Every structure is written in structure tokens, then in C-alpha cells.
Amino acid sequence: MNCLVIYKIRSGIRSAAVKLLLALLLISGADLEARVPDSSRINLGFPIYSQYLQNGMVINPAYAGTREVLSGILSYRMQWMGTSGLPLLQSLSVHSPMKNDKVALGMTAQFMKFGSTRSTSLYGSYAYHIKMKKGRLSMGLKTGVDISNTDYTGLLLIDPGDPVFQANEKSLVLPNAGAGVYYFSDRFFAGMAVPSFLNYRRNSNGTASPYHDFTKYEFLVTAGGLIGISPVLKFKPSVLVDYSLGDSKQLRQFDINGNFIIADLIWAGGSWRVTEQVAVGILQVQLNHQLMFGFSYDYPFGRMNSYTKGSTEFVLRYEFRYKVSAANPRYF
């Protein structure tokens, strides 16, 4: 009976993968005839977070279920404080393994306001976990929609009669899908994800049309480990690389992270965002077995130093059904 269930699950995954691949090939057919100029391409890039190591769902759908409990996390980020119309980013992620521990489901909602533009991203995730000798390998898929709307009515214009700003831009509803793989054990993790399979071109009438082009793919790669220093002190180094095949600035984000874990209660450390010359300080506290609070502050040393006071981010995670013992807490 167990063999039959496993066969059905594997057959379902293969069938879904084949259908997704065929859909992408059909969409990409027209794109092979003429490349879309970058000026008309809508950028669906990965938003900048500082505490993504505690909020893995915003990076990789394969992260679903890796906490081994029903886990929910809220985040609120104020980007480039001190600037007019500063970006505000909020996210909610919930994920959990199912009863057989091989299948996990999750959802992520992101809300961003930047000047006169508001965008919403809603995605559902599916992950399948395979037990390895020393860890687990997770393969994940996500599908959902990005919604963007621009309101020009609140802008102070030099020329109020400018026809470009007389009407609000049409709301853009952009369905999409992504995938990722993630390996984790007690001492090491590594993952890679493609957040968006589809790209969109902006049409002259304000609408958007989807197309598929492998050369426009964005890859998010993460890796890290855990080093024991003493019974009450551990060090967790990690990196994140955001690489875009189609962007003239191909290395979009490169973070070097280091966190000290004190008595499994306090996480203190930081990051150096090489591509933007930004230093990040991070403090996270495990208030009890179920509740974690995190705060981070980004200070720019590069060209943004003259324009902003930095960025702050708050994170709150709650585990609805505590399962991991205090003697063997989850670090990844």
C-alpha cells in the first residue's frame, strides 16, 4: 500500500512538471522570434530583505515545511528612511508539513508601497521532502499572482495638465510561477530558487503580456553552516547570491552573513551587502519555545549614504505546535 501511495505521488509530480514545462514552451514560442527590449520589460525582481534567513519562504518555495511545525512569520520593513515616498514592505508567510512529513504546503503574501505605486504578491507553495543520509532534500513549486497599481492623483506636478498623469495607470495582474530546491541538515543548508518563470512586457495601451525567456531568469542561491564554539555559543556563517541572467547588472545582491547564537536564545550578528555597500546589524530573541522577535538595521556606506538614514526591519515568528526539543533546536 505504501509503495502504491509513493508511486501515485511521484506520478503526480511528474505530470505537473511536464504540464508546466509545456506551458512555458508554448509561451516562449513567440518570444524566440523577437527579443523584448529591456525598456518595455516589467521588473519582477526579488525584494530586499535583511532577515530572510528566518523567513525562507520569501526566497525559496522548497523551504515550506522545513520548520517541521505549523510556522507563521510576519515582517515589516521601512526602506531608505528619510526619503520621500520611502518603500514600505510587509509580508506574511505560513507553512507546515502534512501528516506524512513528505509533503508540505505554504503561502506567502507580500505588500509593498513605493511612492505612488502599490503592489501585492500572493503565492501558494508545494514542497516534497526526501530523507537523505544526513539531512533532507526539499523540492518546491509556487504559483500565484503579482498585482500592481499606480495612483497619480496624490502627486505634486510641475505641469498639472500633463496628459501622462491625467489618469491612473491600469492595475496590472501578472500570474506567475517559480521553483526551488533546498537541502538542510543539523549543520548545513544550501538552496537555489528561480522566483519567476515568466516575464512581462508593457504594452502601449497600459496592459501587460507574458512571455518566457530563459536568459531573463533570476537565481537566488543560499548556503550556510553551523560551527560550535562552546556548549552555549555557536556561529552561523552564510551567504546569499541574487544573480540575474538578463540584467546588465547581473550580480544583483551578494550578502555575507554571520550570526552568533547564545544559549539558543539570542541571535546577534550582521551582514555585509557587497553589491550595495550596506552593513546590516541583526538581533533576534527567542522569547519562548514558540515566539521569536527580530530587529535589523541597515546602514548604507555607498552612494545612498547622502540620501537616507538607513532601513529597519521587524520580524515576528510564531510556531503553532512546538515539536523540536530544546536539546536539538532548529537552526535552518
Which CATH number belongs to the domain containing residue 120 in this structure? 2.40.160.40
Q: Which residue has the higher pLDDT, 33 or 325?
A: 325
Task: Establish if 40 belongs to a structural domain.
Answer: no
Q: Evaluate whether residue 324 is within a structural domain.
A: no
Q: Is 35 helix (H, G, I), strand (E, B) or coil?
A: coil
Alpha-carbon span 316 to 294, nearest angstrom:
6
Question: Strand pairing partners for 259?
Answer: 236, 269
Residues 161 and 307 in one domain: yes
How far from chain centre, in Å, is Cα 49? 8
For residues 62 and 100, membership in a common domain is answered with yes
Q: Is residue 39 part of a domain?
A: no
- What is the 3-state composition of the chain as percent helix, strand, coil, each rounded to the nearest 5? 15, 50, 35
Radius of gyration of the chain (CA): 21
154 and 81 inside one domain: yes
In a domain, 328, yes or no: no
Residue-number span of the structural domain to which 6 is assigned: 1-34
Q: According to the model, what pLDDT value does residue 245 have?
A: 80
Specify the pLDDT at position 234. Answer: 97
Residues 249 and 299 in one domain: yes
112 assigned to some structural domain = yes
> How many separate domains does the chain show?
2
Beta strands in 84-134 (DSSP E): 88-97, 103-114, 117-131
In a domain, 329, yes or no: no
pLDDT band, residue 252 (cuts 50/70/90):
confident
Tell me whether residue 223 is exposed, middle or buried, using C-beta atoms within 10 angstroms of its C-beta: 0 to 12, 13 to 18, 19 or more.
Answer: middle
| Cβ atoms 182, 53 nearer than 8 A | no
Provide the pLDDT confidence category of residue 22 given band limits of 50, 70 and 90.
very low
- Nearest 5°: CA angle at 172, between 167 and 175? 175
18 plus 72 within the same structural domain: no
Whether residues 7 and 62 fall in one domain = no
Partners of residue 87 on adjacent β-strands: none
pLDDT the model gives residue 250: 82
State whether 186 and 251 are in the same domain. Answer: yes
Does residue 28 sit in the same domain as residue 104?
Answer: no
Q: Highest mean pLDDT range out of 45-59, 203-217, 258-272? A: 258-272
Assigned domain for 326 exists? no
Task: Say if residue 141 is in the same domain as residue 82.
Answer: yes
230 shares its domain with 259: yes
* Residue 28 sits in the same domain as residue 51: no
29 and 55 together in one domain: no
Q: Does the residue 330 lie in any domain?
A: no
